[in-house]
């Protein structure tokens, strides 16, 4: 009987969507829509965004479960926005 590895991490999936020019960093089949991303462990949103291929320096606003969050929060449903050239984003955390 094989002993379970106590360090093994079960995979999890998060739904992610990128907006506007952030789609330029994605494969064509992931642009302009939400898609699933599988990960193990407890990566931050920043680490997850970069693992997908989008530089975190290009992201200005992150919504997780419809709440504005910073880069250090763990993954859930993620929506990432580039810099928005308007003044109506004062309620978003950067």
pLDDT tens figures, 69-83: 887 766 654 556 665
What's the 3-state SS for 19-52?
CHHHHHHCCHHHCCCCEEEEEECCCEHHHHHHHH
Q: What is the mean pLDDT of residues 47-71?
A: 87
Q: What is the mean pLDDT of residues 17-41?
A: 92
Supply the pTM of this predicted model: 0.69
| Statement: residue 30 has pLDDT above 90 | yes
In order of start, what are the domains of the chain with their CATH numbers? Answer: 11-81 (3.10.20.30)
Q: What is the mean pLDDT of residues 42-64?
A: 89
- Find the distance separating the first CA and the last CA of the chain, reported in whole Å: 50
Residues in a beta bridge with 67: 64
């Amino acid at each position: 009987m094989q002993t379970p590895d106590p360090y093994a991490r079960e995979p999890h999936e998060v739904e992610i969507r990128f907006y506007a020019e952030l789609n330029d960093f994605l494969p064509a089949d992931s642009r302009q829509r939400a898609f699933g991303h599988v990960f193990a462990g407890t990566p931050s949103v920043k680490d997850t965004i970069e693992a997908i291929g989008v530089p975190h320096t290009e992201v200005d606003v992150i919504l997780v479960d419809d709440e504005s969050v910073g880069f250090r929060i763990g993954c859930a449903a993620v929506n990432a926005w580039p810099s928005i050239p308007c003044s109506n984003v004062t309620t978003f955390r950067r």
